[in-house]
Structure 1
Amino acid sequence: MQNWITTPITLELLRGALELEPTEVGLLPHRLPAWARRQYDDPQLEMVESQPSGVRLVFSTRATAVELEVRPTKRVYTGAPPTPDGVYDVLVDGKLVDQATVPGGNVLTIDITTGAISQRPGEIGTVQVSGLSGDQKTIEIWLPHTETTELVALRTDAPIEPVAGSGRRIWVHHGSSISHGSNATSPTGTWVVHAASLAGVEPINLGFGGSALLQPFVARTLRDLPADLISVKLGINVVNTDVMRRRAFGPAVHGFLDIIREGHPTTPLLVVSPILCPMHEDTPGPATWDLDALSRGELRFAATGDPADVPAGKLTLNVIRDELARIVGQRAAEDPNLHYLDGRDLYGPADNAELPLPDDLHPDGPTHQRMAERFAELALNGPFGATASSGPGR
């Protein structure tokens, strides 16, 4: 019989999470602090900020076997193809050695046509890893990036201890579902995490699916985090939720950047515009489910706005890019550590011809890899990364 040692799960063992909330079965990692969560009443953001994109357990041990008890929350969209179980990536000394899924758990059912949400409680499951060497090593367990995960218990067959800071630069990133990792096949396969790995930086991912809407509480969260590098990928959710017009967008971007600069006056700050998304390049939002595709068992999106409304202030991705480039150019005259990257340099027309967006909105796994390689080259290992000299914090 295995002689298990149970170690309490604390923030010392977690990276990428800002808080742990006690639940009736364990602890729920959050990517927004409690004070920020109190400032919104939005089921979409509530769901996605609790999905642990970029969150991982990290510890040092001689253990040859590890068990992590969890209770996942799965999403089911009525009428849509089933969502695959979330993947746990297990790394030893930085190398992927195993992957696992946990069936069961809570089920969150979302009605596509009405937006109604219901939840059915489920059982606890276990991630099991065995056959590891008995040498001292660093183990990382990356949690599923799009599956809310309550942490119940961590067991090993040898003692564990937290790993001291890596000494690597801390990169804090904010963005939409593309940054969150939608359609990536595993948590270390999202473009943000893979880019961080390629550049040797420590990521904190505040990508929130459908929810990058220039909220001040997100800017204040970015302001208060330690960071050597900060990037904000803005625009697609503002268009596909149709939440503001051009007249409001510019001042909102200025305010968002102003708040970040309160805590990081000289930290390299990169503004990234949207990647290519043909349906929204010149057509405003809102976006909605493509019901014709859904009737064929396909999950796709469609833009429903009218291009004729653009002169009156409706936003498209081309309008957003022009505005972001103008704002950064204006501010950079007094802020030499502020930079701009056109998202089409990460995924543009030629990429779309080769690797079209499978649901017309989100990149697939190979596209995440391509975006990661380009972001590492153009930003993290390029002029943006090279200017990092202010150190973490304020």
Structure 2
Amino acid sequence: MESVNAQWAGAFEVVHESDGWQQFRRLDSALFMPPATNGLEERARMCAGIHATWTATSGHVVIEAEGPEDGSPFDVLVNGVLRHRVPGGGRVSHDLDLDNMPPHSRVQVWLPHYGFLRVLEVSLKGQDVKVAAETGRRWIAYGSSITQCRTANGPSEAWPALVARELGWRLQSLGFGGECQLDPAVESTISQLPADIISLCLGINSYNVAAFSGRTFASQVLGFVSNVRRAHPGVPIAVISPVLSVPRENVPNSAGWTLADYRKAVADVVRTVRERGDANVHLLDGASVFAMEEAVALMPDTLHPNNEGYRLMAERLGPRLAAVATG
């Protein structure tokens, strides 16, 4: 029986500790500036989108890890179908059978998308076990908690994970709950990563904490998009404006702007960039992702979609992103 350790996709860096444990980073830390960026650094140590893939004919998955009690679960998929969902909180030890698999099945382990995690071992033991090479378009998905998807039932059901699996893309999730503020650390990380398509979901966190005003927000978005373009000439960029959040649509924050104002500013930036000659930057209107009644029904806290809401986001954004990727 072969035993093959995980090779991780979706991490900017895997940190190997001297005692054999692993930690994960989704951002380059060179431009962190404590204490201002402590929240961003914390989110960047969470494992949204990080996964491993093997092929095998039979076997079992071994997981030895530790995380916070409120951490998200691990998901184990066989040929795209959820086989096991197991807790990720506390010190965890799982040995998960993968019975009755077709020969050379595709096995994936998705790490918990919320909560700081340390891994001692994730391996697949069985017959004909091999690490499966990642293929497909390389997709960087930047956004807020609505991209990190804490309220999804499991990491494989976050909307970027659903889209990546449906389209056969290689996901690099840069979703940071409460911390999508156009930080230089994110811009630098995106600039260093290979990409075939980039999505930037912008505006909701800036509204919530009034990080930018009418004077500064559009200019900051324009600078961010322009620097990403400079690092990735010719790569399609999809800029997604905020999805509906009913109580915030017409209520000004402390900077005097409504969520609708932030959405319009994102659209204005994309229009400006396109008028200046970059036709490969595209607007995906967040207000069209959910109808008003859907936003009410699928966002129990008025801000974050539930699991059904994330699945609907994937169904509606996936084809639009595919269209952007193919021009």
TM-score, normalised by the number of residues in structure 1: 0.76
What is residue 293 of structure 1 aligned with on the other side?
none
What is residue 165 of structure 1 aligned with on the other side?
134
Letter in 1 for 2:164: A
Which stretch of the first structure deviates more once superposed, 178-187 or 44-53?
Answer: 44-53
Which stretch of the first structure deviates more once superposed, 207-216 or 137-146?
Answer: 137-146
Query: What RMSD in Å do the two structures reach over aligned CA positions?
Result: 2.2
Aligned equivalents of 2:123, 2:169: Cα separation in 1: 29
What is residue 62 of structure 2 aligned with on the other side?
67
**How do residues 361-380 of structure 1 correspond to structure 2 at under 5 angstroms?**
361-377=303-319, 379-380=320-321
Letter in 1 for 2:78: V
Q: Which of these two proteins has the greater Rg computed from alpha carbons?
A: 1
**How do residues 208-223 of structure 1 correspond to structure 2 at under 5 angstroms?**
208-223=176-191
Aligned equivalents of 1:242, 1:155: Cα separation in 2: 44
Aligned equivalents of 1:363, 1:48: Cα separation in 2: 19
Matched, 1:136 2:104: yes
Aligned equivalents of 2:201, 2:132: Cα separation in 1: 30
Decide whether the 8 Å contact of 1:234 with 1:273 is kept in 2: yes
Aligned equivalents of 2:109, 2:24: Cα separation in 1: 14
What is residue 288 of structure 2 aligned with on the other side?
345
Q: CA deviation at 1:223?
A: 1.8
**How do residues 41-52 of structure 1 correspond to structure 2 at under 5 angstroms?**
41-52=36-47
Which stretch of the first structure deviates more once superposed, 23-32 or 168-177?
Answer: 23-32
Structure 2 residues not aligned, in runs of 5+: none
- The change in CA–CA distance for 1:338 and 1:132 in structure 2 (over 3 A counts) is same
What is residue 270 of structure 1 aligned with on the other side?
238
What is residue 19 of structure 1 aligned with on the other side?
13
Aligned equivalents of 1:280, 1:40: Cα separation in 2: 28
Decide whether the 8 Å contact of 1:182 with 1:363 is kept in 2: no
What is residue 269 of structure 2 aligned with on the other side?
327
Decide whether the 8 Å contact of 1:328 with 1:339 is kept in 2: yes
Decide whether the 8 Å contact of 1:4 with 1:155 is kept in 2: no
Aligned equivalents of 1:363, 1:156: Cα separation in 2: 33
Letter in 2 for 1:100: V
Decide whether the 8 Å contact of 1:332 with 1:338 is kept in 2: yes
What is residue 94 of structure 2 aligned with on the other side?
127
**How do residues 1-394 of structure 1 correspond to structure 2 at under 5 angstroms?**
5=3, 7=4, 9=6, 13-23=7-17, 26-37=21-32, 41-75=36-70, 86-103=72-89, 105=90, 124-133=91-100, 135-158=103-126, 160-166=129-135, 168-285=136-253, 305=254, 314-333=256-275, 334-353=277-296, 355-377=297-319, 379-382=320-323, 384-387=324-327
Letter in 1 for 2:322: N
Q: CA deviation at 1:102?
A: 3.7
Q: CA deviation at 1:371?
A: 0.9
- What secondary structure sits across from 2:119 in the alignment? strand
**1:274-313 deviation line (CA, Å, top 9, x unaligned):** 001122212233xxxxxxxxxxxxxxxxxxx4xxxxxxx5
Which stretch of the first structure deviates more once superposed, 269-278 or 87-96?
Answer: 87-96
Aligned equivalents of 2:233, 2:191: Cα separation in 1: 10
Number of equivalent positions = 323
Q: CA deviation at 1:233?
A: 0.4
Letter in 1 for 2:39: Q
- What secondary structure sits across from 2:261 in the alignment? helix
Aligned equivalents of 1:330, 1:251: Cα separation in 2: 11
Structure 1 residues not aligned, in runs of 5+: 76-84, 106-123, 286-304, 306-312, 388-394
Decide whether the 8 Å contact of 1:39 with 1:217 is kept in 2: no
- The change in CA–CA distance for 1:257 and 1:343 in structure 2 (over 3 A counts) is same
Decide whether the 8 Å contact of 2:10 with 2:171 is kept in 1: yes
